[in-house]
Chains A and B, each alone.
Chain A
Amino acid sequence: MNEKVLTRYFDIPHLYNIDVYLEKGGYEAVRKALKLKPEEIIEEVKKANLRGRGGAGFPAGLKWSFVPKVDKPKYLCVNADEGEPGTFKDRFIMSHNPHLLIEGIIITCYAVDIHLAFIYIRGEYEKIARRLESAIEEAKRKGFLGSDILGSGFNLEVVVHRGAGAYICGEETALLESLEGKRGHPRLKPPFPASVGLFQMPTVINNVETIANVPLIILNGADWFLNLGKPKDGGTRLFSVSGMVERPGVFELPVGTPLRKIIYEYAGGIKNGRKLKGVIPGGMSAPILLPEEIDVPMDCESVFNKGSMLGSAAIIVIDESVPIIEVLRKVTKFYSHESCGQCTPCRIGTSWINKIVERIASGKGGKGDIEEIERLALQIKGRTLCPLGDAAAMPILAIVNKYRHELEAMLPQ
């Protein structure tokens, strides 16, 4: 078995309780960090090659260094919207060990000179939001939050904000709009949030898992972290494995663990000994991989080279019992339903494709429908305001390309 680092103590009952957490060495990282210079922390995180765990895989340290050193309020927004279908790792962290996240928040804010942080959590995580709030209260009482943290002179408040259930609000700029009390519509970039973000102020937006890794890097050093994973992609990742496997769940494994190993070893293989049909390796936006393509190390670069992406590391396993049209339908329905409607190609394109797919599924497909889906998806790809257009087009294109025969068999000959 691999050594767990991030989820090391998750089996301990009541870890969310600050006293239990402190017994296990909790908040040691904060004590250590507050004695360091902010630049030293950013350097360490940069060196650790901690890549964003939300989906885009952007190096966290680099992102922090983009924040201008200006005398303006700056904000941290922790993206806990966890909307990518198949992903359920952030809730795992927040419900089991909210203090690890808080610890990460404190260190991040100290490094970037932030005094107000928000946790934007998806509305459905009501219980977890409450757990976070009480954890924040506990931390405050112990002097880890509030003013003059541990006598360092550093002040920080953390606010939990619950979303209202739109997928788009996981997109960082839509998240900012939503947090400002507006409709969750993505913003035009540039300017990027690092310079013009929440309430027009410099803002860092990181995923929960990214932030939760920060205390580990501070405690154990960048080299230790790098050694866990790959040279360009440090640490471990929480893989959310779902679908037709014997043992679905969250698995903490080193970055670069082969996909085949995750499915067949850790998740216990395909359910009822059926045959594998395809794997979506990084949440629903990631292009599907065929059974012969799963010998891939699960790190950002390797999966990208396979024509897919590691994304949120949510692995959805599909076996032979599932008709591919049903997979396609789920995908197109989701993106059509969740398109925010702001820009033309995504608003109308995803709906149009979904209408064609629904028609094929109901047995009313016609000649040329598959080509039409492809054509429309290509008209969305790369042409939308936010990355969600690509997120919709890429999986659709992959399914159509890789399972063309099965789809064509549904059309009248």
Chain B
Amino acid sequence: MPKITIDGQTIEVAEGTTILKAAGQAGIEIPHLCYHPAFPPEGSCRLCLVEIEGSPKLELSCSTVVREGMVIKTQSEKVIEARRSVLEFLLAEHPMDCPICDKAGDCKLQDYYEAYGLFESKFKEIKEKKDKLVHIGRNLLLDRERCIQCTRCVRFLLEVTKTGELGVFERGIHSIIGFYENEPVNNNYSGNLAEICPVGAITDLDFRFKTRTWFLTSRPSICPLCSRGCAINIEFHKGLARIELGKRVFRIRSRENQSVNKYWICDYGRYSYSYLDEGRIAQPFQVINERRTNLSWERMLFILSEKIKSLRIRKRTSRIVIVLNSALTNEELFLVKRLFIEELGINRIFFSDPPDEKGDGFLLTAERVPNRRGALNLGFNLNVGEEVLKQDKIDLLLIFAAHLAEIMPLGWLSTLANQIESKFLFTSRESGLSRHVDFVGPVTPVAEKAGSFTNVDGLNQSFDPALNPWGQSWPEWKIMINLAKEIPINLRYFGRLNSPETIRKVMAEEKLNFSVNP
């Protein structure tokens, strides 16, 4: 373990650590543009040069490995001067259209200019003219004037997706990023390019000109759209004083998680976020003769508990059918087990997940639900929803699966609808199902709740709400706990539960191995 001194601070770092990483460990950020921790050092931006005692020239911190006794200066006059000079070069040919650039506020070049530049431009010549609107594939637009040739995009496509769609063309000041022949970027990870571009050269059509980055709040979550469980940040707009916005969420971005998705997320997970704002149900309601009447959660749970109680007294809880899905958290599935199966003796429990699709061989898996492993670990038999078709003698149907409408023939529901006395649907969005049930309760999607999932590799990950609940949406765990209290059932047990965390504690006490990696 070499001992080194950075800016007067002596630290010990692992053998083979680069100066840039060692500095990071000491809490010193060395500016860099072309370097990205996912790729080997490129050394082309020249921004990360530092002074090493005994070395006549400034050295690259991104590629130089520390040696025992090295004395490094990252803030010396010489280093600052070199940084300013690189920034001066980059900005000389940069279009300075920050006011209309989506990256503004989020741009490394801007940040570094604020930190080290702040000079008057001495560039009196004519800037190079390049294409400002090149469709390089999928949702990607390239502005070649803004490009600083860091080649992160090229290297991403070579090293991560191994598709190599982009390359550097021409030479010197005329260098441009481009694609070969008529084959633009076409893979399920293209959205990462706009994210790793340190400037506004590659922008995302999905986000372009929609808002300014400084209006957005970013909160961590986990992508629920397949069983990988990639770490994401949900970026949303809190709204403006007098202007109502049509949506909250403006983009999903990847969040680093070395044990799952490293730095990347797939386009499917990135762009399929409209469900968070569109078609949402704000309040519980009852459907009578196709007319909706709003009611409170308390009222709805009272009605439901009365129905369960009367079936229980008549020893007819076997006439209850519950349809679940594997987007429920481990905590919620645990409650299903304790409340519905063990306390109420309901054994007709079915799962209805969206049908599997093809995985992409990298992050996106075939299972389009986040917690199938969790359900299996808890001992659920994942018999498919179609089994419900064969069921009869149902008095009460509880559906925790909005996907049901997508995979079941609607005719089934309407015929069954007349035979089943009460049908409750818990869903976050409007769907064809709403018309065929008696009660609808709005629930929170993953982005709005806390809990934990077990991903495809068996890794347990917990998450907190990134967004506030839509209207009066409740998470499923809250519905179940309140139902238990309303009936009431085993208050000594259910009474102490009031959050996924408390549920997790009980799960641990009961030796269910669900320790989570935050």
Contacts and interface: CB of A to CB of B under 8 A. Distances in A.
A338 interface: yes
B172 A347 contact: yes
Interface in B163-187: 167-168, 170-175
B125 A345 contact: no
B90 interface: yes
* Residue from the set B45, B85, B172 with the largest chain A CB neighbour count within 10 Å: B172
Given A188-B60, A347-B172, A352 B46 contact: no
A355 B126 contact: yes
Contacts of B92: 348, 352
A97 interface: no
A339 B43 contact: no
A343 interface: yes
Interface in A322-356: 336-345, 347-352, 355-356
Given A342-B44, A356-B125, A382-B58, A350 B89 contact: no
A348 B172 CA distance: 8
A359 interface: yes
B101 interface: no
Interface string B25-57: 000000000000000011111110100000001
Contact of B85 (A337, A342, A345): A345
A34 interface: no
B113 to A, nearest CB: 14
Contacts of B234: none
Given A183-B167, A188-B41, A341-B149, A347 B126 contact: no
Interface string A384-412: 11000000000000000000000000000
A351 B170 CA distance: 14
Contacts of A379: 85, 88-89
Chain B interface mostly helix, strand, loop or mixed? loop
Interface in B52-90: 57-58, 60, 63, 82, 85-86, 88-90
A180 B309 CA distance: 77
Contacts of A73: none
A106 interface: no
A383 interface: yes
B167 A351 contact: no
B162 interface: no
A372 B124 CA distance: 11
B93 interface: yes
A347 B148 CA distance: 10
A51 to B, nearest CB: 22
A411 to B, nearest CB: 13
A347 B85 contact: no
A183 B174 CA distance: 15
B393 interface: no
Nearest to A183: B168
B173 A347 contact: yes
B30 to A, nearest CB: 15
A366 interface: yes
Contacts of B149: 341-342, 344, 347
B90 A344 contact: yes
A381 to B, nearest CB: 10
A80 interface: no
B89 A348 contact: yes
Given A188-B41, A344-B44, A347-B149, A355 B85 contact: no
B122 interface: yes
Contacts of B63: 188
A130 B202 CA distance: 45
Contacts of B171: 166, 168, 337-341
B58 A383 contact: yes
A344 B86 contact: yes
Nearest to B176: A341
Given A344-B148, A352-B89, A379-B89, A337 B49 contact: no
* Residue from the set B57, B60, B149 with the largest chain A CB neighbour count within 10 Å: B149
A344 B172 contact: no
A349 B46 CA distance: 13
B95 to A, nearest CB: 14
Nearest 8 interchain pairs by C-beta = A341-B175, A351-B173, A355-B125, A339-B172, A379-B85, A348-B89, A188-B43, A343-B44
Given A352-B89, A383-B86, 5 more contacts: A343-B45, A344-B46, A347-B175, A349-B89, A351-B173
